[in-house]
Structure 1
Amino acid sequence: MAQAKSENECRPRGRPPVRSDEETKGIVLEAARQAFAGDGYAATSTEELARRAGISTKTLYRLFPGKAALFEAMCADRLERLLSAVDLQASDEVDIEKGLRAALLACADLALDPEVVALQRMVLQESAAFPELAAHFYKNGISRTVTALAGWLRAQVKKKRIALDDVEEAAGMLIGMVASAPQRAAIYGGLALPSRKDIERRVKTCAALFLDGCRAI
């Protein structure tokens, strides 16, 4: 009895701590990433998303007004790691080629992430029925990735390390070199995504081509 009493006295009393909306949003976004990538947009219901996140549908709708808004928020959230990684490489101490490789690797890590490629495949399959998916994916995925890399390039132009007339165009070209071919091979050809070693080799080649060119002198 004494032992039971001791255990009861040690047990915390009162209601469990209330989870903040920001914490709940993070859990919902993670559940949405897995559900959309695995089951598709049309097949995923708000009830299923709420169940995966361990909340009520009422709470889900309080945090996100609808499934489209949740998809948009999920795409935006998925890019925060990329944006911070690109921004970190803009310091004066970083060698231009080393910095470019790091920036391109951050872009490639996101563009060639298996979940992101699965989402892109889903968008392509379902965009005819849900055109807002393509718009959200472009706005919060492709467009923001280009903008982030363009910001890094713009910083290098201001420091007179490189000369470019259009940093946005150059950023799009660079991301295309690094990621487009492997993405297409995975989505349309059913091939495996490149390994980390292959991505790093591709990034190194793209950085050298961009900075030095390949014309024989």
Structure 2
Amino acid sequence: MAQTETKPAIRKGRKFDQVLEGARKVFLRDGFEGASVDDIAREAGVSKATLYSYFPDKKLLFLEVAKGECARQADEAGELLAGGAPPRDVLRFAGGRIVEFMSSDFGFGFFRICVAEGDRFPQLGTEFYQAGPLLLRNRLVSYLKCAVERGELVIEDFDLAADQFVELCKADIHARMIFGVTECCSARHIKRTVDGAVEMFLARYGVKG
């Protein structure tokens, strides 16, 4: 009978956040494979022994950094999604945050690392998705349900509607980033894309007068 590999426990302590911030900088600069434990420890200002006491495996450290940043982004977006603001305002805010994170050095850097390491460490991408994109999607779904209850939107498939909005916000921008097209993420370009996503979403799911 095959044995399931047990995930090593992560121990938190006084220098835990310090280690995470140092690892964040090194992973983005050098990638998962290029990031050495020595460099991470040096950047964090801790000994290798201290680093290993928190994270016995580099994959765990990488995943913890990614999950923490994704959760923070989702929490910030969730503050407005949890309120009762009009759909146009909420969607414009949420769309802006989605694109800002996706196009940031951190967000895109970790996206590339997850893709590059996906074959060897498939759990990285799965847990990254669950900690970030899926968390934001679930909060968007909760807001859409409330908006429907208030009579502001008409939606039957909430999961599909949330997914469609996210993809509309990424239109052209994500592909340009992947293929290295310059000037893909100017403030004007992002605003144009998000505003278009909001208008198209409301044209499909808004209450007709």
Q: Given the two structures, how large is their TM-score scaled by the length of structure 1? A: 0.78
Query: How does 1:1-217 map onto structure 2 within 5 Å?
Result: 21=13, 24-89=15-80, 90-92=82-84, 94-179=85-170, 181-213=172-204
Contact 2:74 2:132 in 1 (8 A): no
CA distance in 2, matches of 1:212, 1:122: 36
Determine helix, strand or coil for the equivalent of 2:175.
helix
How much does 1:194 deviate?
1.0
Question: Does the aligned pair in 1 maintain the 2:28–2:109 contact within 8 Å?
Answer: yes
Contact 2:26-2:40 at 8 Å conserved across structures: yes
What residue identity is the alignment partner of 2:31? G
Residue 69 of structure 1 deviates from its aligned partner by: 1.6
Q: 1:167-186, CA deviations, whole angstroms, 9 ceiling, x for partnerless residues? A: 22211111111125312211
Return the offset for 1:83: 1.9
One-letter code of the match for 1:21?
G
Give 2:83's aligned amino acid.
Answer: S
Contact between 2:103 and 2:177, CA under 8 Å: does it hold in 1? no
Give the residue type in structure 2 aligned to 1:165. E
State the secondary structure of the residue aligned to 2:34. Answer: coil
5+ residue gaps, structure 2, are: 1-11
Count of residues paired in the alignment: 193
Kept in 2: contact 1:72–1:137 (CA 8 A):
yes
Instruction: Give the AA of the match of 1:42.
Output: E
Letter in 2 for 1:162: L
For the pair shown, which has the larger CA radius of gyration, 1 or 2?
A: 1
Could you tell me whether the CA contact under 8 Å between 1:68 and 1:132 is conserved in 2?
no
- C-alpha displacement of 1:190: 4.1
Aligned equivalents of 2:202 and 2:153: distance in 1? 8
Query: Partners of 2:105 and 2:114 in 1: how far apart?
Result: 14
How far apart, CA to CA, are the structure 2 residues paired with 1:139 and 1:80? 10
CA–CA distance in structure 1, aligned partners of residues 61 and 115 of structure 2: 18
Distance 1:34 1:192, change over 3 A: farther
Cα RMSD for the two superposed structures: 2.3
8 A Cα contact 1:86 1:152, kept in partner:
no
Cα drift, residue 100 of structure 1: 1.5
Quick one: which amino acid aligns to residue 126 of structure 1? E
In structure 2, how many angstroms separate the alpha carbons of the residues matched to 1:169 and 1:128? 28
1:186·1:193 contact (CA, 8 Å) conserved in 2?
Answer: yes
